[in-house]
């Protein structure tokens, strides 16, 4: 009969580890936020505020991996219209933010009046139909009827810019799924796809300032949800903006940690928390220019964080003599851009740009979807078969990467694996007798994280020379280990230890929504993103856990008694399958004690993620992402470093 050998839930009932990784990440984040908050909170004079603003810009640019080069002058533009509707004049636009990158947009102009007017760039939230969403049309029309020229643009993966169409032009993914699917490969390069979202928006500003009826000194921006995210990035990076209204996004990192919501890849700033960027810092980066924060009471972006960030940013505004230039407007709605906030935005921009008070008029009927097309088919990918999308841009960047020297790559990996770790005073290992003579062992990998393993039926017979240590990393975790497993069936003088690393096996985190950990909406994805904010990664921590398991096994006095010959001089062999094969390779690069690495059913291939449009095989390869690895330690170099140790 096949008997399970792995851990039962909660380390056989000894510890509830289902929240350990969440608590570990959140504690680290809160400690870092407390340490870095002083940069803004103690900026007591104008020079200190300006210095902090520059530090915020630098940190955002570093997290993005820089911005694409922006050409001089307006982008190439094609016009379609005008159309009459929604109480104003509507024209559709397609501009190229970069060669081959077509951005679909709609320009709203007031129906009456002449001369140069102020303008507002409208950036969309995460709606499948982008700028054609009825509510977004109504927001833009309201602003235009107030006397503003408004340019609304489709983000990548929404509206007419779906980048993943099959042979029958049916979208295989859209919207927020596309954002993260295209965005995760960019992390391997040390980039965020937010760099291209910002680039599209900056080129939209280039277009606006070139229009003869637009005053280039009075350009604003607004957007909610994902558009609120893009607006906050623009606060720090676009000096030509004279006013901004950020909708239903602003909260604080510390409060948002506990809300349990994941965000898309373009909303994640790698290294942001580590380098002192919180929502308040992004707001303060815009001071002393007029800024409105638009919030709804029933949002999943918690209001308590909104109030905290506005008050912290207001201190910077006050220091620059502009306390009244930062406004907060709220409304009793769930997550959306509701009419009260749209009217508040219209009033705000009119006041900021010297226009008359806008009327509180009735909403106009939005245009039907077909009337909102900027390209004939309604999809750029159909009308422009050679159009480029984010996955194309990522691939082009990857092709420019030059491999580093092996020694440089190893040093970089060692830093990634060892940085941020908090070793306990001792591992506090416990070895518990289990079925058929096997042992369950638990130890502290870090001060607040457990490591766990199953020691397969130790053979106490002495060995000639040091006893080898064999580490098993099973894709299914130690829970998949049974008496039928080859390692359990075969008699061996090796000390065989099957190990669970953080986030895997019995140490897998609780998912409040019951999602598969391979989903990018899961708790594991959110934890990965929170680690990226900390300039860390899940895979680096898992590789560290492997080295800690070796530390424990080779230095534990109880094991030395059970297994004579097991000690510091023991050679270490790793056998790994699935996604943990990549973790095994990382551990072997940074730890010379590992003599051989045997990998089967290899899942993680950063090169394939970077160069293939469709890279996911539903095995969770994205969990292994270490930002910048493709630059600093690409997989071929890792294989060269391992040489004949790798099988």
Rounded average pLDDT over 72-79: 96
Place of tokens 């194309």: 392
- At residue 502, does pLDDT exceed 80? yes
Angle at 211 between CA 205 and CA 212, to 5 degrees: 145
Please tell me whether residues 186 and 288 are part of one structural domain: yes
Q: Which residues pair with 449 in a beta bridge?
A: 446
DSSP state of 165: B
Rounded average pLDDT over 480-507: 90
Please tell me whether residues 257 and 180 are part of one structural domain: yes
Please tell me whether residues 374 and 473 are part of one structural domain: no
- At residue 462, does pLDDT exceed 90? no
- At residue 256, does pLDDT exceed 70? yes
The pLDDT-based confidence of 493 (bands split at 50, 70, 90) is confident
Contacts of residue 483, defined as CB under 8 A and 6 or more positions apart, other chains included, come to: 2, 3, 5, 436, 489
The pLDDT-based confidence of 436 (bands split at 50, 70, 90) is confident
Q: Is 29 domain-assigned?
A: no
Please tell me whether residues 160 and 279 are part of one structural domain: yes
Residue with more model confidence, 620 or 417: 417
Q: Is 13 domain-assigned?
A: no
- When divided into structural domains, the chain yields a total of 2
pLDDT for residue 55: 98
Q: What are phi and psi of 605, to 5 degrees?
A: -135, 95
Whether the bond between 634 and the residue before it is cis, its omega within 30 degrees of 0, is no
Q: Which of 398, 432, 456 is the last residue of a domain?
A: 398
Please tell me whether residues 205 and 256 are part of one structural domain: yes
Q: Which of 398, 413, 440 is the last residue of a domain?
A: 398
pLDDT for residue 82: 81
Report the predicted TM-score, pTM, of the whole model to 2 decimal places: 0.96
pLDDT for residue 591: 98
Please tell me whether residues 394 and 444 are part of one structural domain: no
Looking up residue 385, the CATH number of its domain turns out to be 3.40.50.1820
Task: Report how far residue 84's alpha carbon sits from residue 81's, in angstroms, rounded to the nearest whole number.
Answer: 9
Please tell me whether residues 476 and 359 are part of one structural domain: no
Please tell me whether residues 390 and 438 are part of one structural domain: no
CA distances from 361 to 144, 245, 306, 349, 418 (A): 12, 20, 29, 16, 60
Q: Is 411 domain-assigned?
A: no
Extract the tokens encoding 520.
Answer: 């990018």
Extract the tokens encoding 143.
Answer: 């602003």
Considering the chain, what is the average pLDDT of its residues? 94
The pLDDT-based confidence of 95 (bands split at 50, 70, 90) is very high
Task: Report how far residue 609's alpha carbon sits from residue 616's, in angstroms, rounded to the nearest whole number.
Answer: 8
The pLDDT-based confidence of 84 (bands split at 50, 70, 90) is low
Please tell me whether residues 381 and 520 are part of one structural domain: no
pLDDT for residue 85: 60
pLDDT for residue 394: 95
- Taking the CA atoms of 70, 72, 73 and 79 in sequence, report the sign of the dihedral they define: negative
Please tell me whether residues 483 and 581 are part of one structural domain: yes
pLDDT for residue 102: 98
Rounded average pLDDT over 233-259: 96
CA distances from 529 to 163, 406, 461 (A): 23, 28, 47
Please tell me whether residues 295 and 344 are part of one structural domain: yes
- At residue 429, does pLDDT exceed 90? yes
Contacts of residue 179, defined as CB under 8 A and 6 or more positions apart, other chains included, come to: 126, 155, 156, 157, 193, 226, 264, 265, 266
Q: What are phi and psi of 354, to 5 degrees?
A: 75, 30
Task: Report how far residue 199's alpha carbon sits from residue 197's, in angstroms, rounded to the nearest whole number.
Answer: 5
Is 155 within 8 Å of 183 (Cβ atoms)?
A: no
Q: Is 22 domain-assigned?
A: no
Q: Is 520 domain-assigned?
A: yes
pLDDT for residue 199: 98
Percent of the chain with pLDDT over 90: 87
pLDDT in tens, 11-68: 999 999 999 999 999 999 999 999 999 999 999 999 999 999 999 999 999 999 999 9
Q: Is 122 domain-assigned?
A: yes
Please tell me whether residues 240 and 309 are part of one structural domain: yes
Domain extent, residue 307, equals: 60-398
Q: Which of 365, 398, 431 is the last residue of a domain?
A: 398
pLDDT in tens, 400-424: 999 999 999 999 999 999 999 999 9
Nearest to 49 by CA among 382, 422, 312: 312
pLDDT in tens, 331-343: 999 999 999 999 9
Q: Is 41 domain-assigned?
A: no
CB atoms within 10 A of CB 49: 22
- At residue 86, does pLDDT exceed 70? no
pLDDT for residue 365: 86
Task: Report how far residue 585's alpha carbon sits from residue 588's, in angstroms, rounded to the nearest whole number.
Answer: 5
């Amino acid at each position: 009969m096949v008997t399970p050998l792995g851990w039962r839930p909660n380390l056989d009932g000894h510890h509830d580890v289902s929240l350990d990784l969440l608590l570990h990440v959140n504690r680290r984040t809160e400690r870092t936020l407390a340490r870095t908050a002083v940069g803004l909170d103690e900026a007591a004079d104008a020079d200190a505020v300006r210095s902090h603003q520059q530090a915020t810009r630098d940190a955002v640019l570093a997290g993005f991996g820089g911005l694409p080069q922006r050409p001089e002058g307006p982008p190439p533009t094609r016009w379609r219209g005008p159309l009459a509707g929604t109480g104003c004049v509507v024209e559709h636009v397609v501009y190229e933010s970069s060669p081959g990158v077509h951005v679909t947009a709609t320009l709203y102009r007031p129906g009456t009046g002449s001369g140069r007017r102020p303008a507002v760039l409208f950036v969309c939230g995460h709606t499948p139909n982008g700028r054609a969403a009825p509510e977004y049309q109504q927001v833009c029309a309201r602003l235009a009827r107030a006397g503003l020229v408004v340019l609304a643009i489709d983000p990548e993966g929404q509206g007419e810019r779906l980048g993943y169409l099959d042979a029958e032009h049916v979208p295989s993914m859209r919207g927020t799924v596309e954002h993260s699917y295209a965005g995760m490969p960019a992390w391997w390069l040390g980039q965020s796809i937010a760099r291209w979202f910002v680039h599209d928006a900056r080129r939209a500003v280039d277009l606006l300032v070139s229009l003869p009826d637009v005053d280039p000194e009075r350009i604003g921006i607004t957007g909610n949800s994902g558009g609120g995210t893009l607006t906050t990035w623009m606060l720090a990076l676009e000096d030509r903006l004279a006013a901004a209204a950020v909708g239903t996004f602003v909260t604080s990192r510390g409060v948002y940690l506990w809300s349990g919501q994941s965000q898309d890849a373009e909303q994640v700033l790698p290294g942001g928390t580590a380098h002192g960027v919180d929502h308040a810092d992004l707001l303060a980066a815009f001071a002393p220019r007029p800024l409105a924060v638009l919030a709804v009471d029933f949002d999943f972006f918690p209001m308590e964080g909104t109030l905290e960030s506005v008050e912290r940013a207001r201190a910077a505004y006050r220091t620059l003599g502009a306390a009244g230039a930062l406004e907060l407007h709220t409304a009793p709605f769930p997550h959306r851009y509701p009419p009260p906030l749209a009217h508040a935005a219209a009033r705000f921009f009119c006041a900021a740009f010297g226009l008359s008070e806008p009327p509180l008029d009735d909403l106009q009927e939005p245009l039907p979807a077909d009337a909102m097309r900027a390209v004939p088919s309604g999809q750029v990918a159909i009308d422009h078969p050679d159009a480029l999308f984010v996955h194309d841009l990522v691939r082009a960047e990857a092709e420019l990467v030059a491999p580093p020297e092996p020694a440089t790559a190893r040093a970089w990996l060692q830093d990634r694996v060892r940085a941020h770790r908090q070793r306990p005073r001792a591992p506090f290992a416990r070895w518990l007798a289990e079925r058929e003579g096997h042992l369950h062992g638990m130890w502290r990998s870090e001060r607040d994280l457990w490591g766990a393993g199953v020691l397969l039926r130790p053979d106490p017979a002495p060995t000639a020379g040091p006893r080898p240590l064999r580490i098993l990393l099973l894709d299914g975790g130690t829970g998949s280990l049974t008496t039928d497993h080859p390692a359990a069936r075969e008699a061996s003088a090796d000390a065989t230890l099957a190990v669970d690393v953080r986030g895997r096996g019995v140490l897998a985190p609780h998912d409040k929504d019951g999602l598969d950990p391979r989903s990018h909406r899961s708790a594991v994805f959110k934890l990965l993103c929170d680690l990226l904010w900390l300039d860390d990664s899940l895979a680096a921590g898992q590789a560290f856990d492997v080295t800690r398991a070796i530390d424990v096994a080779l230095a534990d006095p109880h094991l030395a008694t059970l297994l004579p010959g097991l000690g510091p001089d023991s050679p270490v062999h790793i056998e790994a399958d699935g996604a943990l094969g990549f973790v095994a390779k990382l551990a072997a690069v940074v730890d010379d004690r590992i003599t051989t690495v045997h990998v089967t059913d290899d899942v993680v291939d950063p090169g394939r993620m970077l160069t293939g449009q469709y890279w996911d095989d539903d095995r969770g390869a994205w969990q292994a992402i270490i930002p910048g690895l493709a630059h600093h330690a690409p997989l071929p170099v890792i294989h060269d470093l391992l040489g004949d140790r790798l099988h």
